[in-house]
A and B are shown apart, each in its own frame.
Chain A
Amino acid sequence: MAFLEVKDLQVYFPIKGGILNRTVDHIKAVDGVSFEMEQGKTYGLVGESGSGKSTTGRAIIGLEDITSGQVLFNGKDITDKKTKNKAFRKDVQMIFQDPYSSLNPRKRVLDIVAEPLRNFEKLSKKEERKRVQELLDIVNVSPDSIFKYPHEFSGGQRQRIGVARAIALKPKLIIADEPVSALDVSVQAQVLNFLKEIQSELNLTYLFISHDLGIVKHMCDNISIMYKGRYVEQGSTEEIFENPQHIYTKRLIAAIPDINPKNREEQFHYRKKVLEEYTQSYDDYFDQDGLAFQLQSISDTHRVALPQKG
């Protein structure tokens, strides 16, 4: 049994219009996405803005209403609203993109980090404070600063406070939605190292949502590429980078700037070639609506969206 299984997930947003403000159409933000996750691994979800990667993450944790499909956590369907699944809420936590807006500016660090504890565990004031200080210690923020407010911290520290809040309840799965894209390079390194450290300590599973392929390559065991609400390719990090099959994946990889200035001309020509290939073979990889096809397995772990044979 898979740790987390997502089956044919669809999230549609209505477009309202007309005199009576009726729903005239839908935006298919997530259009039939399925995947499985194992415990203790990091799964990358990559796509451009508007590809539906954030919506997928938010739908799993329950921040978006699911149009259809199932999310099974340890075999239990958590999309069923009748059974209130409190354990799931505790086991799945989220790290948000922007550390400047994801912490309430009017709350002290103590209250921010203790909020999940207050929701799920009955602790005395003293115990609570001790737990918060322990958590802050884990994320390398001085435990003395529990009475400070978010504005007194730098971006990296704030993001780590966000992480402390996310790990307060010892979750099993953390959905990290662009956790470092608002941070400077050096601070980014700090947060990424730290996420890796606590992963091995707490046996965490990450769903790592990002548009930066370099970071995803560094962090993830498994990568999925998303385009217009559908998966175009899914595989281990090696398979995606060494042997990309879908033309869109190839294009994404070609677009990563090369850190070695000597490869500059090469990269420039390679990118041109890939773009040419992309425009030429666009119809082979996408249907009439410009959407990706169903995923086909090409090896045990590697799946690519290709048209049905025959």
Chain B
Amino acid sequence: MSNELLKIKNLSTSFRIGDEYYAAVDDVTLTLNKNEVLGIVGESGSGKSALAFSIMRLHTKAKIEGEILLNNQNIVKMSNSKLNKIRGDEMAMIFQDPLTALNPLMPIGRQIEENLFLHNKKLGQQGRKERTIELLNLVGIPRPERVYEQFPHELSGGMRQRVIIAIAIANDPELLIADEPTTALDVTIQAQILDLVRELKEKIHAGIILITHDLGVVAEMADRVAVMYAGQIVEIAPVEKLFANPLHPYTRSLLNSVPTEGQDRLHVIQGVVPTLKNLPRKGCRFAERIPWIDASHHEENPELHEVESGHFVRCTCYEHFYFPDNKEEQANGVS
């Protein structure tokens, strides 16, 4: 298909602890189309950032298996020099913390020009400056000529995040990965940044992977959503379907633990997110957090099942899942 921008096949990213490798991303298969926003949701330790870093090949010591095809070029097998060419050009990343992602000793203008210089040799000094000012304008920074000369510490958090976005989109990337782009920001600034990303999507026609733990952000931004738990994708669906009809127990638990109207008690997921070393590698990984569900309802080797077109769920336990404090559903679920 020509519309496919990124195709990830059976990707596993493992880290070494002691003498053994443990997979933080375990057999993930995904596609991202052009012009699409794919949200990846999960708690800390679910492997969502490890996945993003794998796509950019930013891990230095991880073992990466499987295929990551960006426009049919395999990133996993790519040489470093080739990688340096496409990083920042074809694919770019927006980092979480706008304070640490910028060089404190370099003026804003030069940090953006650096990316232009590396990937667009045709542009002269004057051209680069013009493009930089244009980019600063595009991300909504007032008085770009002034900001061009300023240093990161002179800008507020929201403005810094805009600069990071400007660097990321400098060379019109086809793939943009945003790793918790608004977590460090205030709500009003978050809203501005999200609106900005949405507007940019229309302008630069990039495919965007948006990684976040905030379900509200996903609901506002994404076209499709993948929910990750313990290194695996447990559910993937178009955004309306996922919020209207969440199926996997983890997705449902997550949605129920966010405060909404007229809710007195929030749902609490039993137990804790397993650490990388203690991940249950066999069977349904969420099983131990829903112990009231009979073990026979889980699959031995849980796979993604297509329930509706485009809506995939891992394991069959969702068919029998109910919340323990909901008697009605309990009756339905068991029958």
A interface list, Cβ under 8 A from B: 48-49, 154, 156, 184-186, 188-190, 192-193, 196, 211-215, 217-218, 251-252, 254-262, 264, 267-268, 271-272
Binary interface encoding of chain B residues 234-260 relative to chain A, with 1 for a CB under 8 A from any of its CBs, else 0: 000001100100000000011101111
Are A264 and B43 within 8 A (Cβ)? Answer: no
Are A259 and B258 within 8 A (Cβ)? Answer: yes
**9 A-B Cβ contacts within 8 A?**
A48-B189, A184-B43, A193-B268, A213-B187, A251-B188, A257-B217, A259-B219, A259-B255, A261-B240
B101 at the A interface (CB under 8 A): no
Cα–Cα, bound, A251→B259 (Å):
20
Size bin of chain B's contact surface: 35 or more
Q: Give A46's nearest chain B residue, CB to CB.
A: B187
Residues in B whose Cβ lies below 8 Å from that of A261: 219-220, 222, 239-240, 243
B9 at the A interface (CB under 8 A): no
Residues in B whose Cβ lies below 8 Å from that of A193: 265-266, 268
Q: Give B289's nearest chain A residue, CB to CB.
A: A186
For A259, give its contact among B213, B216, B257, B269 (CB under 8 Å): B216
Residues in A whose Cβ lies below 8 Å from that of B189: 48
Are A214 and B258 within 8 A (Cβ)? Answer: yes
B272 at the A interface (CB under 8 A): yes
Residues in A whose Cβ lies below 8 Å from that of B266: 189-190, 192-193, 218
Are A252 and B188 within 8 A (Cβ)? Answer: yes
Q: Give B214's nearest chain A residue, CB to CB.
A: A257
B80 at the A interface (CB under 8 A): no
B198 at the A interface (CB under 8 A): yes
A189-B186 contact given A258-B219, A261-B240, CB 8 Å threshold: no
Are B259 and A185 within 8 A (Cβ)? Answer: no
Q: Nearest-CB distance from B56 to chain A (Å)?
A: 24
B195 at the A interface (CB under 8 A): yes
Residues in A whose Cβ lies below 8 Å from that of B267: 189
Q: Nearest-CB distance from A259 to chain B (Å)?
A: 5
A260-B243 contact given A185-B258, A186-B253, A186-B254, CB 8 Å threshold: yes
Cα–Cα, bound, A251→B157 (Å):
18
A255, A267, A271, A272, most chain B CB atoms within 10 A = A255
Cα–Cα, bound, A211→B43 (Å):
20
Are B191 and A254 within 8 A (Cβ)? Answer: yes
Q: Which 7 A-B pairs have the closest CB atoms?
A: A257-B216, A218-B259, A189-B257, A189-B266, A255-B191, A48-B186, A186-B269
Residues in A whose Cβ lies below 8 Å from that of B222: 261
Are A255 and B188 within 8 A (Cβ)? Answer: yes
Q: Give B239's nearest chain A residue, CB to CB.
A: A261
A196, A256, A259, A272, most chain B CB atoms within 10 A = A259
Q: Nearest-CB distance from A256 to chain B (Å)?
A: 7
Cα–Cα, bound, A251→B190 (Å):
12
B74 at the A interface (CB under 8 A): no
Residues in B whose Cβ lies below 8 Å from that of A190: 266, 268
Binary interface encoding of chain B residues 178-204 relative to chain A, with 1 for a CB under 8 A from any of its CBs, else 0: 000000001111110011001000000
Q: Give B45's nearest chain A residue, CB to CB.
A: A184
Are A48 and B257 within 8 A (Cβ)? Answer: no
Are B240 and A154 within 8 A (Cβ)? Answer: no
Are A257 and B219 within 8 A (Cβ)? Answer: yes
Are B240 and A262 within 8 A (Cβ)? Answer: yes
Residues in B whose Cβ lies below 8 Å from that of A255: 187-188, 190-191
B44 at the A interface (CB under 8 A): yes
Binary interface encoding of chain B residues 43-66 relative to chain A, with 1 for a CB under 8 A from any of its CBs, else 0: 110000000000000000000000
Are B43 and A186 within 8 A (Cβ)? Answer: yes
Within B124-149, which residues are at the interface with A (CB < 8 Å)? none
Are B187 and A252 within 8 A (Cβ)? Answer: yes
Q: Nearest-CB distance from B260 to chain A (Å)?
A: 7
Are A259 and B260 within 8 A (Cβ)? Answer: yes
Are B220 and A257 within 8 A (Cβ)? Answer: yes
Are A215 and B259 within 8 A (Cβ)? Answer: yes
Residues in B whose Cβ lies below 8 Å from that of A267: 220
For A186, give its contact among B190, B257, B259 (CB under 8 Å): B257
Cα–Cα, bound, A49→B267 (Å):
29
Are B259 and A48 within 8 A (Cβ)? Answer: no
Are B263 and A218 within 8 A (Cβ)? Answer: yes
Cα–Cα, bound, A77→B214 (Å):
42
B273 at the A interface (CB under 8 A): yes
For B216, give its contact among A192, A256, A262 (CB under 8 Å): A256
Cα–Cα, bound, A211→B189 (Å):
12
Q: Nearest-CB distance from B174 to chain A (Å)?
A: 24
B215 at the A interface (CB under 8 A): yes
Residues in B whose Cβ lies below 8 Å from that of A188: 257
Cα–Cα, bound, A257→B43 (Å):
18
A259-B188 contact given A184-B213, A186-B269, A217-B259, CB 8 Å threshold: no
Residues in A whose Cβ lies below 8 Å from that of B273: 184
Cα–Cα, bound, A196→B268 (Å):
14
Q: Nearest-CB distance from A201 to chain B (Å)?
A: 15
Q: Give B46's nearest chain A residue, CB to CB.
A: A184
Cα–Cα, bound, A236→B62 (Å):
52
Residues in A whose Cβ lies below 8 Å from that of B214: 257
Cα–Cα, bound, A258→B215 (Å):
9
Cα–Cα, bound, A218→B264 (Å):
8
Q: Give A251's nearest chain B residue, CB to CB.
A: B188
Within B144-159, which residues are at the interface with A (CB < 8 Å)? 157
Cα–Cα, bound, A261→B238 (Å):
10
Q: Give B275's nearest chain A residue, CB to CB.
A: A154
Are A271 and B258 within 8 A (Cβ)? Answer: no
A186-B268 contact given A251-B188, A257-B214, CB 8 Å threshold: yes
Q: Give B257's nearest chain A residue, CB to CB.
A: A189
Residues in B whose Cβ lies below 8 Å from that of A218: 259, 263, 266
A189, A257, A267, A268, most chain B CB atoms within 10 A = A257
Q: Nearest-CB distance from A307 to chain B (Å)?
A: 23
